[in-house]
Amino acid sequence: MLNETKPGKIISESFSSQTRLKKMVEFEWLGQTLASISWIVSVFVYGIESLGDWLQLIAASCWFLSNVAAIILIDKNLK
């Protein structure tokens, strides 16, 4: 079902009803966020000794920030 929010701007009802809290309790978001945090922690547990370790940390941090951005941008996309 589609809703018209402003003249010429149509968004889906399922997207418009999504809130930050609803997104944060979804299995997909929780799983990816926990996995990225675990990856970050593991880099520090095993130590940063080489370029590969830094790349692992950067990749895990980007993944985590992407998950956070998905939550922050929900309300902004609705305007």
Q: Are 16 and 2 in contact (CB under 8 A)?
A: no
The crossing angle, in degrees rounded to 10, of helices 51-77 and 27-46 is 150
At 48, list the tokens. Answer: 């940063």
> How far is CA 31 from its chain centroid?
11
Using pLDDT thresholds of 50, 70 and 90, give the confidence band for residue 20. confident
pLDDT tens digits for range 51-75: 999 999 999 999 999 999 988 887 6
Domain coordinates in residue numbering, the chain: 20-77
pTM comes to 0.67
